[in-house]
Amino acid sequence: MTDITKEAMMPPRSFLSQDAIQVFYRLLAALLICAVLAVLSDSFLSLGNILNVLRQASLTFFIASGLTLVVLTAGLDLSVGANVALSACIAGTVIHKTGSPALGILAGLACGGIVGLLNGVMVTALRIPSFIATYGMLWVLNGLTYWYMAGETLHGFPAGFRQIGSGYLFGLPIPVYLLLVFLGIGTLFAQRTIWGQEIYAIGANPVAARLSGIPVARRLLLVYSVSGTMAGLASIIFLSRLNSAEADIGESLTLPAIAAVLIGGTSLFGGVGTVFGTFIGALILTLVLNGMNLLSVSANWQPLVTGIIVILAVWLDMKTRHRAQ
């Protein structure tokens, strides 16, 4: 198929589009939540609490940003939480063995990227549905991590390394700066590059994308590798923040990451959504959880509330898609 047809299939995505309108409404929702929490809790608007919300939102965003690209292709990566756990344990071991945080960071990123690449191979070469492939990978990673750690906990990392997750620069937590960097990179990649447009096209119609000459398999390998690498990056932030690594570090991370993607407006059916929307989704989810903590809502209710928000986000996605059709 000609380049003209390919270009017609992938019109440049303006940020002032339907995606931007969805982001605008979600931003309004975040502001409304802030207003309600400011009325209900005296401590919500304190500087310490606001910085805590931004830090927590950034940790969720690192995992969810890579996952966004996978969902844009109508796929899903359920192994991100388990990937964070294994990558953190590998990175922590390398730092302890070598005394080099740089080597530990490289090991964590490499571990995350390799896991993502294996997910991509299962989806493209073995043609296993992403839900099944990554769910199986979740259990494989859990098994490997528990076997590798054998009940041990790694702790006591260099002070310089701990600054990545716990330090401040000009009054802001360092993870917030990292969030801004990767938010900019992710937005430019998805909205302004040919590869980003091809990812949207694959999610919108994979058959048409293949017929138009887009290398679908290679792009899927790319998005799963990016998702895995971002999980590896999140593992470094968590390792630095917690100053410890153990096998169950990632068990509670998968659902919030998926929730942030869906709340941010990325469609489970692919082809619709933005990385910036995922940031807003991570912020909304963090605000809700922070509000429940400030209002002394039992921790037992928090997974229930998160689940209800995810269901509502999917329902709204289906209604919006139905109206569009």
Element (H, E) at 251: none
- The domain of 121 spans 42-318
Q: Residue 8: what pLDDT?
A: 46
The whole-angstrom separation of Cα 103 and Cα 94 is 7
Tell me phi and psi for residue 244, to 5 degrees.
-160, 160
Q: Residue 323: what pLDDT?
A: 65
168 CB-near residues (< 8 Å, 6+ apart) = 174
Do the domain assignments include residue 14?
Answer: no
Do the domain assignments include residue 26?
Answer: no
The whole-angstrom separation of Cα 122 and Cα 317 is 27
Residue 202 to residues 113, 266, 275, Cα–Cα distance (Å): 21, 14, 17
Do the domain assignments include residue 156?
Answer: yes
Tell me phi and psi for residue 10, to 5 degrees.
-120, 70
Q: Residue 313: what pLDDT?
A: 76
The pair of structure tokens assigned to 74 is 């109508």
Residue 321 to residues 226, 266, 269, 280, Cα–Cα distance (Å): 27, 11, 9, 20
Strand partners, 169: 172
Do the domain assignments include residue 28?
Answer: no
Q: Residue 1: what pLDDT?
A: 44
Work out how many domains the chain is built from and give that number.
1
For residue 142, give the nearest of 278, 60, 250 by alpha carbon.
Answer: 250
The pair of structure tokens assigned to 262 is 């869906």
Do the domain assignments include residue 22?
Answer: no
Q: Residue 298: what pLDDT?
A: 83
Do the domain assignments include residue 21?
Answer: no
The whole-angstrom separation of Cα 284 and Cα 279 is 9
25 CB-near residues (< 8 Å, 6+ apart) = none
Q: Residue 322: what pLDDT?
A: 65
Taking phi over 0 as left and psi of -120 to 50 as alpha, with beta for the rest, 41 belongs to: beta
Do the domain assignments include residue 64?
Answer: yes
Residue 79: other Cβ atoms inside 10 A? 29
Do the domain assignments include residue 17?
Answer: no
Sign of CA dihedral 119, 272, 182, 23: negative
pTM: 0.88
Question: pLDDT of the chain along its 325 residues, tens only?
Answer: 444 445 545 545 554 466 777 788 888 889 999 999 999 988 899 999 999 999 999 989 999 999 999 999 999 999 999 999 999 999 999 999 999 999 999 999 999 999 999 999 999 999 999 999 999 999 999 999 999 999 899 988 999 999 999 999 998 999 999 999 999 999 999 989 999 999 999 999 999 999 999 999 999 999 999 999 999 999 999 999 999 988 888 878 898 899 899 989 898 888 889 999 999 999 999 999 999 999 888 888 888 887 888 788 778 777 766 666 6
Domain of 70: which CATH number? Answer: 1.10.3470
- Listing DSSP states for 3-41 in one string gives HHHHHHHS----SSSHHHHHHHHHHHHHHHHHHHHHHH-
